Chains A and B, each alone.
Chain A
Amino acid sequence: MATKTSSRHAESSVSPSPSESTVSESGASRKKPSLIEKSASAVTAVEMGARQREISVSEFFTKNRHLLGFDNPRKALLTCVKEAVDNSLDACEEAGILPDVTVRLETVMNGQAPVAPSQATRFRITVTDNGPGIVRQQIPRVFAKLLYGSKFHRMRMSRGQQGIGISAAGMYGQLTTGKPVKVISRTGPRAAAHYFEVQIDTKKNEPLVHENKQIEWAQPQGTEVALEVEGRYQKGRASVDEWLEQTSIANPHVRLVYHQPEGETKEYPRTYHELPASPKEIKPHPYGIEFGALLKMLQDTKSHTVASFLASDFCRVSPALAEEMCKAAKVSPQTKPRAVKHQAAETLYKTIQTTKIMAPPTNCISPIGEKAILSGLYKQIKGEFYTAVSRPPAVYRGYPFIIEAGLAFGKAPDEAAKPQQAAVPLAEGEDHGNDTEQARVIRYANRVPLLYQQSACATFKAVLSTTWRHYGVSQSRGALPAGPMVIFVHMASVWVPFTSESKEAIADYDEIQKEITLALREAGRRLGIFLRRRERAASEFRRRNIFELYIEEVVAACNRLKGGNLPTEKLKEQLHKIASTRTGGLKTDEALGKTNAGPEGLPHSIIVTAEGIEGDADLAQQAPPARASASMALQAEPIAQTKTRPKAKRGAKEAPNSRTGKSVRATKANVGQQTLFETPPTKKTTSLKGKPAQASATRKRK
């Protein structure tokens, strides 16, 4: 689906190709005839040399825009939105501001008659945030210079990595519509708001400022970017709508307002009121560095000796360890770093790789956290069972990372309880229309949804290679598990190894694959427990049911065999009596009522039944990882739901001011829900055990 409409713009790239450049003056006049004669086969080194020249990054990407995710108009539109939103979120989080982002998508008429958004080819994308703003001098370069940014050179978890995204989006707009990027930014209520119109000089990779003025802006602080691009707006898989929805699942701390091109407004409310812990910046780990990089670092370092270079420019290298490594590499610790070259440098590199060094610190990563994932999934996806797993940090190539997985399973009870269609007797070969629907995988890297190239992604491969049948979900060979299920996988890392610059798929490192698989298995196990329990309850019921059904048939057959003069009622009664003793009688009834009960023993899970929601009462008690608990929302507030959800079943009525635990109205239905959003301030709280009724957050529903 990624390349459906890709070729439309292939010819429109405008950059002059290097081969058209002038031939050197001296040779041009005299040799011209012979050049033509000999054609391309006889070009002298001098002539070739004359044609060789620098290619600017911008020119390169103009020609290769598919590398950045602008292969076709539909994907390009998404990429532009994505880059702008990513930038906003990164900026807000770094500045410690709870992000409030508005995305507006409008069709641009361009002098033509208005058309439906699905037919339109031009769009204006406006993304507004409440972030820290950008200082005036930097605005042109941030938005109109490729490979310019703050994130590339540091080892810290963020959505953006290279400083290509937003400028590439601007460049794409410039290529397809000729319109500049319009930026408004204000760094605070007292500062002035600046309005810029910038374009990129594709030859020099430098910004061109068209307009620069101070304006009045209603917003006290923040940035607004407006792009006009050629694109295609379509709903469904890999659409802007889907991307925003998935973003909201993984970022429950973000309030997202989305003005659709049709004129409707969707709001994804904030369900989590604490920012994720701000990830620390770390130095590179020695294992994650390549030889060339080491050489460069040796040249650039401010340290005066190799030993201090090793100790200060890398993480997890103590001065003692640095000395030891120097010794092992037969390099004097006092050597100047710049003097370590060639053979010596190579030996040093090899020594570093073979020395045992502690794994990198993991405080540079901020996972979403189990509770936040649960709340995100629960908010956006209807289902019966939710669970979330955060793996402990792991390391690939010296980069720390964390894998998180989540599952939402089943149909919402109200949907499942829909009146079954009138009983139509089944013909041979027909069945009960079992769900052949396949699970949906939603993938994230540093909280950014990945929508394209699913099958190339390590997460997807891990989902395929997990044996879901062990957990009671059917799965045919080499396919996704079947059933109404959403599988959530998130990789958080200082450096997510994407397979391409357009950040569509996570590369398949063994360590990553292993962690994903482990996380999925844990989630799968919990699902398995849930399904088995439900199955058990159902099968007891069915057992009873079977006999009741069949007794009728058997009695009728007996009656016919006996010529129709059998005391059928008596026989039925006798058989019913046997059936009831055989199936455990009243005990079973009790068991039936019980086995439907909540998710005891299932950590970080929610079960939704027709009677209500049953969160894990112990959830609050289970000490979440320190990082995660720090980032968890401590407060709950009424949440505005945009989607219609079951009212009577899920929602609790208002129970104002009862946070202190005196709420007596907290029903079974709202208990579990609240434990999710109401985390006790410290993980030591024990008073919640089994009685989370003190939690009181309410969810209003529209």
Chain B
Amino acid sequence: MAQAKPKKNGAVGKKLVGMADVVIAAAQRAKDPTFEIPIRALSNVSFNPRRGLIVMGEKKQSRSFFNVGMAKKFMQTMLVADALAELQQADLTTSLREIYYRTKHTIQDSHENTFDTQDESDPIIEDLEVSLVALREELHVRAENSGSIVGPVVFGDDGDRVDCAKLGKGGYSVPSIVEPEYLEIRRCTADFLLLVEKGTQWNRLSEDKFWRRYNCVLLTGNGQPPRGVRRLARRLHEEYKLPVYVLVDNDPWGYYIYSVVKQGSINLAFESQRMAIPKAKFIGLSSADPERYELPRNVGIKLNDKDITRARELLNYQWFQKPAWQQEIKRMLTSGLKYELDALANKDFQYLTKKYLPRKLKEKDWLD
């Protein structure tokens, strides 16, 4: 870790300083200082079926200073770049919110604040990530720690040995930066990795020591998994060849979580190659499960308008074009119901651990 620092610092730091050079150079030639920023939207991503990844296109938007609509954003971009460079020099990591506070001040001789809310500074950090081709971790910005892992895996974290098999039912809290320089995977003897959407169900599995019985790693991101969790899953998958199974609620949002784990997200398409796990499998809850596992209809929840709209959008995404997936989503739409993982408790508190997952694994009942 220590020896890697100076070099990394230099690379990203230089890029940030380069932004000041753009302004100075443009000013000297009496030109409008302009940055090119790749567009982060559905219109600028495409699905690469061969690699199984969402990749970013070539479209860029320019952000120039002397344009009334962009002037403020340009100024904000410079401020954020400055703050990030400061982090590099001091070798500190920080949160998105701290960046917001660091860069917020009232512009001299006016009532105007540089930033009014964090919603203004967050996208600028993402802009810088893509335009400088620097990962958020490399920019020393961390997300919140919101993920847990338990199972036969041993990490080295800041020199401490963390054996996730000996952390009780609480497990190890996944840090937001899990690059090898920060988190070392010393040993892993598991057979597969189970990524659970919900913390509650992860608790259930952890409490029942599911991981011991089936020799697996249990990972959760409490909803949409944060980057640290996804990156860790990817590393375990890549470095220890663990097959990855994803267990989510049966609703459009669950499907999308799975797809983000598998192919990457639209917003952070440029990071897909580092994060995505194209071989991840969707283990449940499938829209076929309620019937197969005889879940009563009354534990379902009626799809609301938002759900239906979202499901229709999913149907159109390139990466959901496999016939099995079209069928899966359409089946949910036809039934008009969604099911939460928690609904399995209707049959038995330990139904998930004792019946559902064992049968799924035995029957190899999953979607690709």
Name A574's closest neighbour in chain B (CB-CB).
B27
* Alpha-carbon separation in the docked complex, A547 to B81 (Å): 19
A553 pairs with B106, CB closer than 8 A: no
A561 pairs with B85, CB closer than 8 A: yes
B19 pairs with A550, CB closer than 8 A: no
Name B101's closest neighbour in chain A (CB-CB).
A428
Name A579's closest neighbour in chain B (CB-CB).
B66
- With A575-B27, A578-B66, A582-B66 in contact, do A550 and B75 touch (Cβ < 8 Å)? yes
**What A residues does B72 contact at CB under 8 A?**
546, 550
B168 to chain A, nearest CB (A): 39
A553 pairs with B24, CB closer than 8 A: no
**What B residues does A566 contact at CB under 8 A?**
20, 24
* Alpha-carbon separation in the docked complex, A571 to B24 (Å): 7
Name A426's closest neighbour in chain B (CB-CB).
B113
Cβ of B86 within 8 Å of any chain A Cβ, yes or no, is yes
Interface residues of B in 27-78 (CB under 8 A from A): 27-28, 30-32, 65-66, 68, 71-72, 74-75, 78
B71 pairs with A578, CB closer than 8 A: no
- With A546-B68, A561-B85 in contact, do A432 and B17 touch (Cβ < 8 Å)? no
* Alpha-carbon separation in the docked complex, A9 to B318 (Å): 77
Name A573's closest neighbour in chain B (CB-CB).
B27
Cβ of A1 within 8 Å of any chain B Cβ, yes or no, is no
Cβ of B298 within 8 Å of any chain A Cβ, yes or no, is no
Interface string of A579-604 (1 = CB under 8 A from B): 10110000000000000000000000
**What B residues does A16 contact at CB under 8 A?**
none
* Alpha-carbon separation in the docked complex, A339 to B126 (Å): 93
Cβ of A549 within 8 Å of any chain B Cβ, yes or no, is yes
**What A residues does B111 contact at CB under 8 A?**
423, 426, 432
Interface string of B159-203 (1 = CB under 8 A from A): 000000000000000000000000000000000000000000000
* Alpha-carbon separation in the docked complex, A574 to B28 (Å): 7
A582 to chain B, nearest CB (A): 4
**What B residues does A554 contact at CB under 8 A?**
23, 65, 74-75, 78
**What B residues does A552 contact at CB under 8 A?**
107-108
Cβ of B217 within 8 Å of any chain A Cβ, yes or no, is no
Interface residues of B, count at CB 8 A: 36
Interface residues of A, count at CB 8 A: 29
Cβ of B368 within 8 Å of any chain A Cβ, yes or no, is no
Once A and B bind, how many residue pairs between them come within 8 Å at the CB atom?
Answer: 89
* Alpha-carbon separation in the docked complex, A552 to B65 (Å): 12
A577 pairs with B17, CB closer than 8 A: no
Name A582's closest neighbour in chain B (CB-CB).
B66
A553 pairs with B81, CB closer than 8 A: no
- With A571-B24, A574-B27, A574-B30 in contact, do A547 and B110 touch (Cβ < 8 Å)? no
**What A residues does B32 contact at CB under 8 A?**
578, 582
Interface residues of A in 529-557 (CB under 8 A from B): 543, 546-547, 549-550, 552-554, 557
Cβ of B95 within 8 Å of any chain A Cβ, yes or no, is no
Name A577's closest neighbour in chain B (CB-CB).
B30
Instruction: Choose one: B20, B110, B113; the contact of A557 (CB below 8 Å).
Output: B20
B110 pairs with A549, CB closer than 8 A: yes
B108 pairs with A547, CB closer than 8 A: no
Cβ of A558 within 8 Å of any chain B Cβ, yes or no, is yes
Residue with the highest number of chain A CB atoms closer than 10 Å, among B24, B105, B113 = B24
Interface string of B13-26 (1 = CB under 8 A from A): 00011011001100
A547 pairs with B74, CB closer than 8 A: no
**What B residues does A574 contact at CB under 8 A?**
27-28, 30
- With A550-B71, A560-B82 in contact, do A578 and B30 touch (Cβ < 8 Å)? yes
A558 pairs with B23, CB closer than 8 A: yes
* Alpha-carbon separation in the docked complex, A361 to B79 (Å): 72
**What B residues does A553 contact at CB under 8 A?**
75, 78-79, 107, 114
Cβ of B117 within 8 Å of any chain A Cβ, yes or no, is yes
Residue with the highest number of chain B CB atoms closer than 10 Å, among A423, A426, A429, A578 = A578
**What B residues does A577 contact at CB under 8 A?**
30
Interface string of A422-448 (1 = CB under 8 A from B): 010110110010000000000000000
* Alpha-carbon separation in the docked complex, A550 to B31 (Å): 16
**What A residues does B82 contact at CB under 8 A?**
557, 560-561
* Alpha-carbon separation in the docked complex, A571 to B28 (Å): 8
Cβ of B112 within 8 Å of any chain A Cβ, yes or no, is yes
- With A426-B113, A549-B112, A571-B27 in contact, do A561 and B81 touch (Cβ < 8 Å)? yes
**What A residues does B110 contact at CB under 8 A?**
423, 549
Name A546's closest neighbour in chain B (CB-CB).
B71
- With A423-B111, A550-B72, A575-B27 in contact, do A562 and B66 touch (Cβ < 8 Å)? no
B124 to chain A, nearest CB (A): 12
A550 to chain B, nearest CB (A): 4
**What B residues does A426 contact at CB under 8 A?**
106, 111, 113, 116
B20 pairs with A558, CB closer than 8 A: yes
- With A554-B74, A554-B78 in contact, do A561 and B19 touch (Cβ < 8 Å)? yes
A426 to chain B, nearest CB (A): 6
Residue with the highest number of chain A CB atoms closer than 10 Å, among B30, B31, B114, B117 = B30
Instruction: Choose one: A547, A557, A558; the contact of B66 (CB below 8 Å).
Output: A547
B156 to chain A, nearest CB (A): 35
B113 pairs with A425, CB closer than 8 A: yes
Name B31's closest neighbour in chain A (CB-CB).
A578
Name B111's closest neighbour in chain A (CB-CB).
A423
Name B19's closest neighbour in chain A (CB-CB).
A561
**What A residues does B106 contact at CB under 8 A?**
423, 425-426
B95 to chain A, nearest CB (A): 16
B285 to chain A, nearest CB (A): 39
**What B residues does A575 contact at CB under 8 A?**
27, 65
* Alpha-carbon separation in the docked complex, A577 to B112 (Å): 23
B96 to chain A, nearest CB (A): 14
* Alpha-carbon separation in the docked complex, A569 to B31 (Å): 17
**What A residues does B114 contact at CB under 8 A?**
553
**What B residues does A543 contact at CB under 8 A?**
68
* Alpha-carbon separation in the docked complex, A428 to B115 (Å): 9
**What A residues does B31 contact at CB under 8 A?**
578
B20 pairs with A578, CB closer than 8 A: no
**What B residues does A578 contact at CB under 8 A?**
27, 30-32, 66
* Alpha-carbon separation in the docked complex, A571 to B68 (Å): 20
B81 pairs with A557, CB closer than 8 A: yes
Name A561's closest neighbour in chain B (CB-CB).
B20
Name A556's closest neighbour in chain B (CB-CB).
B82
A564 to chain B, nearest CB (A): 11
**What A residues does B117 contact at CB under 8 A?**
428-429
**What A residues does B79 contact at CB under 8 A?**
553, 557
**What B residues does A546 contact at CB under 8 A?**
68, 71-72
B274 to chain A, nearest CB (A): 27
A549 pairs with B19, CB closer than 8 A: no
* Alpha-carbon separation in the docked complex, A578 to B66 (Å): 8
B78 pairs with A558, CB closer than 8 A: yes
A558 pairs with B108, CB closer than 8 A: no
B72 to chain A, nearest CB (A): 7
* Alpha-carbon separation in the docked complex, A574 to B30 (Å): 7
- With A550-B74, A554-B78, A574-B27 in contact, do A560 and B66 touch (Cβ < 8 Å)? no
Residue with the highest number of chain B CB atoms closer than 10 Å, among A425, A550, A566, A577 = A550
Could you tell me which B residues sit within 8 Å of A by CB distance? 16-17, 19-20, 23-24, 27-28, 30-32, 65-66, 68, 71-72, 74-75, 78-79, 81-82, 85-86, 105-114, 116-117
Q: Which 4 A-B pairs have the closest CB atoms?
A: A574-B27, A561-B20, A557-B78, A558-B20
What are 20 A-B pairs at a CB distance below 8 A?
A425-B106, A426-B113, A426-B116, A428-B117, A547-B65, A549-B107, A550-B65, A552-B107, A553-B79, A554-B23, A557-B79, A558-B20, A561-B16, A561-B81, A562-B20, A571-B24, A575-B27, A575-B65, A577-B30, A578-B66
Could you tell me which A residues sit within 8 Å of B by CB distance? 423, 425-426, 428-429, 432, 543, 546-547, 549-550, 552-554, 557-562, 566, 571, 574-575, 577-579, 581-582
Supply 14 further A-B pairs (C-beta < 8 A) apart from A423-B106, A558-B24: A426-B116, A546-B72, A547-B65, A549-B107, A549-B108, A550-B71, A553-B107, A554-B74, A554-B78, A557-B75, A560-B82, A561-B19, A574-B30, A578-B31
